[in-house]
């Protein structure tokens, strides 16, 4: 919710670089992010030019040297300027519309709206060289000036200087010179006195590193790179537009994180900027690891390995990790890690990623039994624990709802939080359904890497929980319902999480059909054009659409889709994938949004009733289902052995 957003941003700004939480390991065990296979991938990722600075989407950063070439715009003599943009729109109404972006940073494109001016900025690489083409699409009465700044980021060594028409950076292993093609007007100092070129922005201005280039040469490199990306997208046929949009959602959200010297895909640059570093969430990062696998293995593996870094000493993946590695030690988030690790493996087949992550994922699976058992089934909670982020909501009902990932869901309204147990007095269908799926996915992984005893343990637990969850089935409703652990009463406030037992293949085929026909496709509950609402349409909170009170959320659609794949329900799953794609592409084409959530009333990401970050990377989940449907991603319902 909005209050949580403000709390997180304020608290994470205090995180600093201390208090790193890591699991207590047996002597000699290598953590996933220390594996030599991953270290080689990491070294390969941390190289070349790209939009790697989370705080400035217009800056091009060269790695590993950490030289930044930034852009900003101003009117002559004016005190106002456009600089260090937020994604999509900032508080003054300036617009940053993200466009095509290569995963490896070799091309990026964005349109800027500022003070009535429209500017397009395109970057491209040629070998180790960078070119930037700045095009004035629409001017104003006042002339526009472009500032080109050189900075060394993250306290990395380097000497910067300026000569007429050129910036020079002397790095430990090379010298990089940056040239301009425009008309330079004065010797201006950039941030903190850094060297700057100030240019009159005519129709086009060019910037290039390595050697001087003409506008024509720069334009040719830009067109070549963009053409290659267009051909890559076109190879996906009818999914070309979706491929471009998902690629942009991932590309613009991939940053260099200096605290742990890593490349990661983050949930939102805007959230990162508020935290003065980064914010990662428990289930978000697993979804993003999987989304990256559409494009290649290295970034997918990097995100998965780096997320394991957040494993707490108690053995669980936390709800949140912020700048410096501080985490929420009182609560976790939905257990989707094994599901996503298995799907990534099925795409690329490198056994070592399963070997690297299995023990951490198994520790997390066992943690739920120790920490969240309430009356024989699992409940969301927030335990008594150290509080490195100094959160006032830790060990409260608010934090327990945060563990669910559905921060202000009406399902939890009025449900007591038991401070002794550290849990809601609610046996949650979604959590128990996902737990069964987690056990089955982990057992499949255990089979693959030869962990026989653990595979037996996990299958036994999945079977046990499949029997236990039957206590939540309501024959009169034809649906699994949340149950109060203190009173035994069932709750009829329903969300898409009621379909999560499908992911672990709990219901029979006939029962699954009943659930889908009576509820999922029912226009009074979850059916309709804009799906899936996060609370049933006939719930009294649905008209609010604020956060989890009715808005369409990408992870809910995606997880329900995974469940439908396990049954002979082709029409339902195709409809869910197609409607999700229509919402996703509609907002991408209309506004350049990859939204945190969407209106279940009109499908937009900027409905005033919403609280939705316009560029939030898990929005790509709305489009990924189409690639699974088309057979361009592995079938989630198959085991690893059937890959």
Residue 13 has pLDDT above 60, yes or no: no
Task: Round to whole Å and give the CA distance between 587 and 579.
Answer: 13
Q: For 74-132, what is each residue's pLDDT tens digit?
A: 988 776 788 877 776 655 678 999 999 999 999 999 999 998 899 999 999 999 999 99
- Structural domains for the chain: 59-234 (no CATH), 304-495 (1.50.10.10), 508-637 (no CATH)
* Residues contacting 92, CB < 8 A, separation 6+: none
Q: 642 pLDDT band (50/70/90 cuts)?
A: low
Of 9-18, 99-108, 222-231, the least confident: 9-18
Roughly how many angstroms between the first and final C-alpha of the chain, as a whole number?
40
Q: 194 pLDDT band (50/70/90 cuts)?
A: confident
The whole-number average pLDDT for the span 302-323 is 97
Q: 185 pLDDT band (50/70/90 cuts)?
A: confident
* Residues contacting 204, CB < 8 A, separation 6+: 133, 134, 135, 136, 215, 219
Tokens representing 319? 């709800």
Residue 52 has pLDDT above 80, yes or no: yes
Q: Is 148 helix (H, G, I), strand (E, B) or coil?
A: strand
The whole-number average pLDDT for the span 348-362 is 97
Residue 295 has pLDDT above 70, yes or no: yes
Q: For 135-157, what is each residue's pLDDT tens digit?
A: 999 987 788 999 999 999 999 99
Type and span of the H or E element at 305? helix 297-308
Higher-confidence residue: 542 or 187?
Answer: 542
Tabulate helix, strand, coil % of the chain (nearest 5). 40, 20, 40
Residue 22 has pLDDT above 70, yes or no: no
Q: Buried (b) or exposed (e) across 547-584, using 16+ Cβ within 10 A?
A: bbbbbbbbbbbbbbbbbbbbbebeebbebbbebbbbbb
> What pLDDT is attached to residue 413?
97
Tokens representing 322? 């912020």
Residue 236 has pLDDT above 70, yes or no: yes
Q: 273 pLDDT band (50/70/90 cuts)?
A: confident
The dihedral over CA atoms of 191, 195, 201, 207, expressed in degrees to the nearest 10, equals -120
The whole-number average pLDDT for the span 564-574 is 98
Q: How many CB atoms lie within 10 A of CB 182?
A: 21
Q: For 461-504, what is each residue's pLDDT tens digit?
A: 999 999 999 999 999 999 999 999 999 999 999 999 999 999 99
Asked if 191 and 84 touch (Cβ cutoff 8 Å), the reply is no
> Between helices 351-371 and 297-308, what is the axis angle to 10°?
30
Task: Round to whole Å and give the CA distance between 293 and 269.
Answer: 21
What's the mean per-residue pLDDT of the chain? 93
Higher-confidence residue: 78 or 70?
Answer: 70
- What percent of the chain is predicted at pLDDT more than 90? 87
């Amino acid at each position: 919710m909005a209050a949580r957003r403000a709390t997180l941003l304020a608290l994470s700004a205090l995180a600093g670089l201390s208090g790193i939480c890591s699991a207590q390991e047996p002597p000699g065990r290598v953590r996933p992010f220390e594996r030599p296979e991953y270290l080689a991938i990491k070294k390969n990722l941390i190289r070349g030019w790209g939009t790697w600075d989370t705080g400035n989407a217009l800056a091009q950063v060269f790695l590993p040297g950490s030289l930044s070439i930034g852009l900003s715009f101003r009117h002559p003599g004016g005190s106002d300027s456009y600089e260090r943009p937020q994604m999509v729109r900032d508080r003054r109404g300036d617009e940053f519309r993200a466009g095509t972006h290569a995963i490896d940073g070799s091309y990026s494109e964005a349109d800027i709206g500022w003070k009535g001016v429209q500017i397009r900025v395109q970057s491209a690489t040629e070998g180790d060289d960078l070119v930037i083409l700045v095009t004035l699409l629409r001017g104003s009465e006042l002339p526009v000036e472009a500032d080109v700044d050189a900075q060394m980021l993250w306290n990395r060594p380097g000497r910067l200087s300026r000569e007429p028409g050129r910036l020079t950076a002397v790095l430990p292993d090379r010298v990089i010179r940056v040239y301009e093609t425009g008309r330079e007007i004065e010797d201006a100092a950039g941030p903190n006195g850094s060297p700057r070129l100030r240019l009159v922005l005519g129709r086009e201005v060019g910037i290039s590193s390595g050697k001087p280039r003409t506008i024509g040469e720069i334009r040719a490199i830009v067109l070549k790179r963009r053409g290659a990306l267009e051909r890559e997208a076109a190879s996906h046929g009818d999914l070309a537009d979706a491929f471009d949009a998902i690629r942009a959602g991932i590309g613009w959200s991939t940053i260099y994180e200096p605290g742990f010297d890593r490349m990661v895909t983050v949930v939102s640059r805007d959230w990162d900027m508020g935290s003065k570093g980064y914010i990662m969430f428990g289930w978000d990062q697993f979804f993003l690891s999987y989304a990256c696998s559409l494009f290649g293995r290295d970034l997918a593996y990097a995100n998965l390995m780096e997320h394991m870094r957040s494993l707490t000493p108690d053995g669980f993946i936390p709800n949140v990790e912020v700048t410096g590695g501080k985490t929420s030690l009182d609560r976790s988030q939905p257990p989707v890690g094994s599901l996503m690790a298995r799907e990534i493996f099925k795409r690329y087949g490198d056994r070592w990623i399963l070997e690297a992550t299995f023990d951490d994922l198994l520790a997390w699976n066992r943690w739920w039994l120790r920490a969240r058992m309430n009356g024989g089934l699992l409940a969301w909670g927030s335990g008594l624990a150290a509080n490195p982020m100094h959160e006032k909501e830790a060990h409260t009902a608010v934090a327990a709802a945060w563990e669910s990932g559905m921060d202000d869901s009406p399902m939890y309204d009025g449900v007591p939080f038991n401070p002794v147990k550290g849990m809601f007095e609610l046996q949650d269908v979604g959590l128990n359904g996902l737990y069964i799926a987690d056990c089955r996915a982990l057992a499949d992984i255990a089979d693959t890497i030869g962990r026989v005893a653990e595979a037996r343990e996990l299958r036994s637990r999945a079977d046990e929980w499949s029997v236990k969850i039957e206590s939540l089935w309501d024959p009169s409703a034809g649906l699994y319902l949340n149950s109060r652990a203190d009173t035994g009463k069932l709750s009829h406030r329903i969300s898409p999480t009621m379909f999560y037992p499908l992911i672990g293949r709990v219901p029979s085929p006939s029962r699954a059909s009943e659930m889908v026909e009576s509820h999922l496709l029912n226009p009074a509950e979850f059916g309709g054009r804009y799906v899936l609402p996060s609370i049933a349409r006939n719930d009294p909170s649905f008209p609010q659409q604020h956060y989890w009170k009715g808005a369409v959320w990408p992870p809910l659609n995606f997880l329900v889709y995974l469940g439908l794949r396990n049954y002979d329900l082709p029409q339902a799953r195709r409809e869910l994938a197609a409607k999700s794609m229509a919402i996703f592409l509609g907002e991408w084409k209309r506004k350049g949004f990859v939204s945190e959530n969407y209106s279940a009333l009109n499908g937009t990401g900027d409905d005033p009733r919403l609280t939705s970050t316009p560029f939030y990377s898990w929005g790509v989940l709305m489009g990924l289902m189409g690639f699974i449907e088309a057979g361009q991603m592995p079938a989630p319902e198959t085991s690893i052995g059937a890959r």
